[in-house]
């Protein structure tokens, strides 16, 4: 998808965005009786200069309390003479920077600004207190290891990539709706954006191929299918596209639909012609008519092609999806035939 004729923007498989980080460590201490689970969703990434600030008594309300209504704010209480503070500060700065704006770090020198740590009951340093919605919710003391700092921030802001995953899911839902509404180009742009963020997202890859098929570019869809990593091809969404491409290829070999309709007019029991016409109509997008032809065969002769009409209809369901109106309607009618 990286050629210059690609209408979707970006390459077929772009690099993933965002940074992941992990690690394990000891549990943080609770603070103020509140739960960090009440932290709001992380804000969009902001410049690093806004992620780490030096705060003062006068600036505490703006730097910490007001900011904590947008995203969690960690306050690092330190002093120049404190050896453990010098160990912790570069560690916590590193992890906060890697969080990409999910949290903010405000550093306060308690020698210069003793009133606020005094009000909070800070008796030893380094001490880190997390604020959410204008109040302290959690904290820890001492020069803890990097893994514990990471765990503490994940507890506040959620696991790494959580916001990205939610955005991707929302984009996929929107793209699916656009494709169903016939806005193929718009849907393809969203699928392309997701693939740039997550190059192994099977739903996005399947959606992009569905867009190509809708635009009549089945050859490019087939090329994209062939280029997918093997581990992706077993995904149900990819399998559905694979089946659809096979159906399109088969339909091209089944003859002229007008001639098939004429054959059925002359002999309504020509089940082979009816089956072929159903396959062609399915590829053309007339799902209701395709299903009706297969159901007609079943009503007349369940033994035809060893119950081939039912098997073909089930294959259509696989491609259409369980929520498609044509699937719901045809499945209901299929049940009435099977259990009558």
Distance from C-alpha of 130 to C-alpha of 298, rounded to nearest angstrom: 67
Tell me the two tokens of residue 158.
């959620």
- Please check whether residue 297 is in contact with residue 309, taking contact to mean a CB–CB distance below 8 angstroms: yes
Catalytic: which of 53, 85, 156, 313?
85
Q: Is the peptide bond prior to 236 cis by the omega test (within 30 degrees of 0)?
A: no
Listed in sequence order, the residues at least 6 apart from 306 whose beta carbon sits closer than 8 Å to its beta carbon are: none
Distance from C-alpha of 267 to C-alpha of 331, rounded to nearest angstrom: 27
Listed in sequence order, the residues at least 6 apart from 173 whose beta carbon sits closer than 8 Å to its beta carbon are: none
DSSP notation for 188-254: HHHHHHHHHH-TT-HHHHHHHHHHHHHTT-HHHHHHHHHHS-GGGTTSHHHHHHHHHHHHHHHHTTS
Give how far Cα 339 sits from Cα of 87, 157, 299, Å.
Answer: 74, 53, 12
3-state class of 104 per DSSP?
strand
Smallest CA-to-CA distance from 65 within 12, 113, 106, 7 is with 106
Q: Give me the residues paired with residue 105 across strands.
A: 52, 74
How close are the terminal C-alpha atoms of the chain, in Å? 50
Q: Is 85 a catalytic residue?
A: yes
Q: Is 82 a catalytic residue?
A: yes
Q: How many CB atoms lie within 10 A of CB 2?
A: 9
Distance from C-alpha of 310 to C-alpha of 276, rounded to nearest angstrom: 14
Catalytic: which of 42, 73, 82, 95?
82
- Please check whether residue 37 is in contact with residue 91, taking contact to mean a CB–CB distance below 8 angstroms: no
Active site residues: 82, 85
């Amino acid at each position: 998808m990286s050629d210059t004729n690609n209408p979707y923007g970006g390459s077929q498989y772009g690099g993933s965005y965002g940074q992941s980080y992990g690690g394990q460590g000891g549990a943080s201490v609770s603070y103020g009786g509140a739960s960090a689970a009440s932290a709001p969703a992380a804000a969009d990434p902001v410049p690093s200069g806004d992620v780490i600030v030096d705060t003062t008594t006068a600036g505490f309300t703006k730097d910490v309390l007001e900011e904590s209504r947008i995203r969690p704010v960690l306050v690092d209480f330190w002093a120049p003479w404190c050896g453990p503070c010098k160990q912790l500060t570069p560690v916590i700065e590193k992890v906060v920077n890697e969080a990409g704006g999910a949290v903010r770090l405000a550093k306060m020198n308690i020698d210069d600004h003793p009133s606020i740590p005094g009000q909070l009951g800070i008796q030893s340093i380094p001490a880190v207190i997390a604020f959410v919605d204008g109040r302290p919710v959690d904290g820890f003391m001492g020069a803890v290891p990097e893994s514990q700092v990471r765990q503490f921030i994940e507890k506040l802001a959620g696991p790494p990539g959580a916001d990205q995953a939610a955005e991707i899911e929302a984009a996929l839902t929107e793209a699916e709706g656009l494709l169903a509404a016939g806005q193929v180009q718009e849907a393809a742009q969203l699928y392309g954006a997701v693939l740039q963020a997550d190059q192994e997202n099977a739903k996005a890859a399947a959606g992009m191929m569905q867009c190509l098929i809708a635009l009549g570019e089945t050859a490019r869809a087939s090329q994209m299918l062939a280029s997918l990593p093997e581990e992706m091809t077993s995904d149900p969404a990819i399998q559905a596209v694979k089946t659809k491409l096979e159906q399109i290829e088969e339909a091209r070999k089944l003859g002229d639909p007008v001639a098939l309709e004429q054959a059925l007019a002359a002999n309504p029991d020509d089940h082979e012609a009816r089956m072929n016409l159903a396959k062609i109509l399915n590829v053309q997008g007339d799902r209701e008519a395709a299903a009706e032809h297969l159901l007609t065969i079943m009503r007349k002769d369940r033994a035809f092609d060893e119950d081939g009409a039912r098997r073909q209809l089930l294959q259509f369901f696989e491609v259409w999806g369980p929520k498609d109106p044509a699937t719901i309607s045809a499945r209901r009618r299929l049940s009435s035939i099977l259990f009558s």
